[in-house]
């Protein structure tokens, strides 16, 4: 029995770090205003203002964006590198860094409030939503706000929870940190905002490549845990998205909730057409609450199954061997 415990502690230390990071992020969420990412956001905005010249050719804006990204990465990487090298407990530092990469709880709290606010308080609901979206929220109708909230829940829960954990499990803390930094910069330099169309395009492409495999896995997991028949999935619409993995994730969300998703979105007054999942039922505030519950349940169930498999395998090796 003691031997089995030793194996679980020493061999699967990465899984302990993941589990404890999830627990810490939920029990002790860091308010966005005090999160270290605010330093990165401030630096990225200042650097953008200095190097981005919208009047210059597109190729020069792309080069400026790439160089700005490299500068910020070279500035931020030495800090965790020094912390890991200097600490006598590197796994503790990894746990802290991974916890900082998981910024889901603050959004969950605000969107829980969004779902409970009366529909007549349109401006308050838009304000709660605008903190987490790059798209225009000031003109969203009740239906549009609910739809945007549900899409944000399923997509940002992937980016802010599953993807960092996936890359940590695959490549360790440096892959998780690298993904987190690319994610934050791509949000700051969103290519659908007018000034940043070329400046942030490389980050969008890089993030799409990093998202491809884990987001397909996430979408598949959402589909496997659905109670409705998978035959009803509208994969034809999902395949029309530029990012197929993103489309499949929204397809699974629509399949689970049974409400309309997708459709056009405004960014700084410009309309971007997107495929629409039409289920002939507009999304409601109760769908937002259900989406929040489902996301937490999906992740906890997946982690529980991984632990069950590892513990069972360990005991089988010890007692059968």
pLDDT for 242 equals 86
- pLDDT band per the 50, 70, 90 thresholds, residue 231: very low
Q: From the centroid of its chain, how far is CA 69?
A: 20
Across the chain, which distance is largest between two alpha carbons, in Å?
70
Percent of the chain at pLDDT above 70? 91
Is residue 46 helix, strand or coil?
helix
In residues, how long is the chain?
Answer: 321
Measured over the CA atoms of residue 208, residue 233, residue 222 and residue 132, the dihedral's sign is positive
What CA–CA distances, in Å, run from 264 to 130, 198, 205, 213, 261?
17, 22, 21, 26, 10
E strand spans, the chain: 261-262, 265-267, 270-272, 276-277
The string of DSSP letters for 101-155 reads H---HHHHHHHHHHHHS-TT-HHHHHHHHHTT-SS--TT--HHHHHHHHHHHHHH
Looking at the predicted structure, is the pLDDT value of residue 229 above 80? no
Q: Closest by alpha carbon to 189, among 180, 181, 179, 199? A: 199
Lowest mean pLDDT among 34-38, 210-214, 284-288: 34-38
Give residues with Cβ within 8 angstroms of 217, minimum separation 6: 166
* The predicted structure's pLDDT at residue 227: 57
On average, the pLDDT of the chain sits at 87
d(CA 69, CA 202): 10
The answer to whether residue 214 scores a pLDDT higher than 90 is yes
> For residue range 275-299, what is the model confidence (pLDDT) as tens digits?
998 888 899 999 999 999 999 988 8
Location of structure tokens 């700084």: 268
Q: Partners of 130 in the beta sheet?
A: none
Give the residue-averaged pLDDT of 295-306.
Answer: 88
User: What is the pLDDT, as a whole number, of residue 18?
Assistant: 93
Q: Where are the domains of the chain?
A: 104-320
Distance CA 97, CA 102 (A): 9
Rounded Cα gap, residues 219 and 92, in angstroms: 31
The structure tokens listed for 222 are 């959402």
Mean pLDDT, residues 28-32: 87
- Whether 162 shows a pLDDT value over 80: the answer reads yes
- Each residue's pLDDT tens digit, 101-136: 998 999 999 999 999 998 889 999 999 999 899 899
- The reported pTM is 0.91
Residue 313 pLDDT greater than 70, yes or no: no
């Amino acid at each position: 029995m003691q031997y089995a415990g030793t194996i679980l502690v020493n061999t699967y230390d990465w899984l302990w770090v993941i589990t404890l990071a999830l627990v810490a992020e939920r029990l002790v969420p860091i308010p966005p205003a005090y999160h270290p990412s605010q330093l990165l956001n401030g630096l990225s905005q200042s650097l953008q203002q200095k190097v981005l010249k919208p009047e210059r050719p597109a190729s020069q804006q792309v080069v400026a964006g790439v160089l700005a990204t490299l500068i910020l990465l070279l500035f931020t990487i030495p800090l965790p590198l020094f912390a890991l090298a200097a600490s006598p407990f590197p796994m503790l530092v990894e746990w802290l860094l991974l916890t900082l990469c998981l910024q889901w709880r603050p959004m969950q709290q605000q969107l829980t409030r969004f779902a409970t606010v009366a529909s007549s308080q349109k401006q308050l609901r838009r304000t709660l939503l605008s903190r987490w979206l790059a798209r225009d929220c000031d003109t969203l109708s009740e239906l549009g706000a609910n739809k945007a909230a549900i899409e944000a829940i399923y997509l940002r829960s992937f980016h802010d929870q599953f993807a960092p954990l996936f890359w940590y499990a695959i490549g360790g803390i440096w892959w998780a940190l690298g993904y987190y930094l690319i994610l934050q910069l791509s949000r700051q330099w969103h290519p659908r905002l007018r000034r940043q169309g070329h400046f942030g395009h490389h980050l969008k492409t890089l993030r799409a490549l990093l998202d491809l495999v884990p987001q397909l896995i996430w979408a598949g997991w959402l589909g496997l845990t659905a109670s409705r028949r998978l035959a009803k999935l509208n994969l034809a619409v999902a395949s029309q998205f530029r990012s197929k993995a993103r489309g499949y994730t929204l397809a699974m969300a629509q399949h689970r909730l049974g409400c309309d998703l997708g459709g056009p979105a405004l960014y700084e007054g410009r309309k971007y057409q997107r495929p629409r999942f039409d289920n002939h039922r507009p999304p409601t505030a109760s769908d937002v609450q259900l989406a929040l519950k489902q996301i937490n349940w999906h992740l906890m169930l997946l982690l529980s199954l991984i632990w069950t498999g590892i513990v069972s395998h360990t005991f089988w090796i010890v007692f059968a061997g």
